[in-house]
Amino acid sequence: MAREAIQRAETTGAAEVEPSPSQLQVLAIIQKTLDHIAAALATGQKVELRNFGVFEVKIRKARVGRNPNRPEVDVPIPQRAIVKFKAGKEMREAVLKLTPPPPPPAKKK
Per-residue pLDDT of 28-59, as tens digits, reads: 999 999 999 999 999 889 999 888 999 999 99
Q: What is the pLDDT of residue 2?
A: 46
Domain edges within the chain = 8-43, 47-98
Q: In whole angstroms, what is the distance from residue 61 CA to residue 24 CA? A: 42
Question: What average pLDDT does the structure give for the chain?
Answer: 83
Nearest to 52 by CA among 93, 11, 16: 93
Q: Which CATH architecture has domain 47-98?
A: Irregular (4.10)
Query: pLDDT per position in the chain (109 positions), as tens?
Result: 444 545 555 555 655 556 678 888 889 999 999 999 999 999 889 999 888 999 999 999 999 998 889 888 899 999 999 999 999 999 999 888 887 777 888 887 6
Query: How much is the pTM?
Result: 0.62
Long-range contacts from 14-23, C-beta under 8 angstroms, 24+ separation? none
Nearest to 13 by CA among 23, 28, 3: 23
